[in-house]
Amino acid sequence: MGLDRLTFIGIGDSLGVPRVYCECDVCMEAREAGRNQRHHSSVWIEGDDGCFMIDCGPDWTFQMERLGIRFVEHILITHAHYDHIGGLPAWADACRWLERKGHLYCREDIADIIRRQFPWLEGHIVFHSMQERFRFMDWTLRSWRVNHGKNGYSYAFRFDKEAYSWVYCSDSIGLTEPERELFQGVDLLILGTSYYHEEAPYQTRSVYDMVEALEVIRQAMPNRVYFTHMSHDVDVRLLPEYSLPPHVRLAEEMLTIDLCKG
Ligand SMILES: [Zn+2]
Ligand SMILES: [Zn+2]
């Protein structure tokens, strides 16, 4: 069996870090030293049977350059918020200049929104409608709707191959038990947590904070967890103070992990 590897090519929230208007301590550190610098959330997966990306935000061009790859053929989209689809026009242009087709995979309701926003994409990109259960490369891919708070809904993805399973859920909050069912016992859970502890009223929020996420993890018992989709509230210099359990970590920009047991 070939080895699949996942690279976090972006771990930021919708505004990224630094936020353009902000001079808080974390944003200033991100500008100067860069340990807190975060681009829009996205992952790159390389395997023997192919490579793909999840989400394509407005930092896509930068993320491709940093990865050092010149073309991506397959992109999966979780939901149609700008921080997850803003790079699609650039991808379509790249496909046009290379005279190659891109292949985009998402649920049909998400495809409808993308088509309305960027009606010219389909000249260069083939849209594939994901069913709830979908064969994708060597993976069994399941997608389901998850609550995204005041921002509506998103989709979470679960990938299974042989005995290995992982979930990508970057934008969610307050999930019901059925919405969390497929988190149960996975080898790897990648979960969005915009804040360590967000004080804003619940009805104004759209993504879990770490305090809430730890409770989700306690119940779902995944083997390994990485938090992503982090805002300028999260300061990697304060990591010891967050007292995360050993199997729970903050994702890092350009961190690569193996998608296998152990
Ligand atoms: Zn987002
Ligand atoms: Zn979103």
pLDDT band at 105 (very low <50, low <70, confident <90, very high): very high
pLDDT at 1: 53
Which residue type does 124 have?
H
Ligand 1 centroid–CA 84 distance in Å is 6
Using one digit for the tens of pLDDT, what is the confidence trace for 192-208? 999 999 999 999 999 99
Q: Which amino acid is at 142?
A: R
Distance 183 CA to ligand 1 centre (A): 19
Ligand nearest to the CA of 58: 1
Q: The tokens of 146 are what?
A: 């998850």
Q: Amino acid identity, residue 12?
A: G
pLDDT at position 186: 98
Res 245 pLDDT > 90: yes
Residue 181 — very low, low, confident or very high, per pLDDT cuts 50/70/90? very high
Alpha-carbon gap, residue 159 to 214, rounded angstroms: 22
Q: If you measure from the C-alpha of residue 39 to the centroid of ligand 1, how many angstroms do you get, rounded to a whole number?
A: 11
Reply yes or no on whether the pLDDT at 262 is more than 80: no
Distance CA 221, CA 216 (A): 8
CA of 39 to the centre of ligand 2 (A): 14
Nearest-angstrom CA–CA distance, 183 and 179: 9
pLDDT, tens only, 80-92: 999 999 999 999 9
- Residues 36/26, Cβ–Cβ less than 8 Å: yes
Q: Ligand 1 centre and the CA of 82: distance in Å? A: 8
Q: Measuring CA to CA, which residue among 175, 211, 212, 167 is closest to residue 191?
A: 167
For residue 261, the model assigns a pLDDT of: 87
Span from the CA of 171 to the centroid of ligand 2 (angstroms): 5
Q: Which residues contact 260 (CB under 8 A, 6 or more apart)?
A: 3, 4, 164
Contacts of residue 107, Cβ cutoff 8 Å, sequence gap at least 6: 129, 130, 143, 155
Neighbouring residues of the ion ligand 1, judged by CB less than 5 Å:
14, 83, 171
pLDDT-above-90 percentage for the chain: 97
Model confidence pLDDT, tens digit, residues 39-77 = 999 999 999 889 999 999 999 999 999 999 999 999 999
Please give the distance, rounded to the nearest whole angstrom, from the Cα atom of residue 83 to the centre of ligand 1.
6
Residues facing residue 157 across a β-bridge: 143, 168
Ligand nearest to the CA of 84: 1
Q: Which ligand is nearest to the CA of 13?
A: 1
How much distance in Å is there from the Cα of 78 to the middle of ligand 2?
9
140-151: average pLDDT = 97
**Which residue, chain included where needed, has tokens 């979960």?**
191
CA of 151 to the centre of ligand 2 (A): 7
**pLDDT of amino acid 2:** 67
Name residue 102's beta-bridge partners.
125
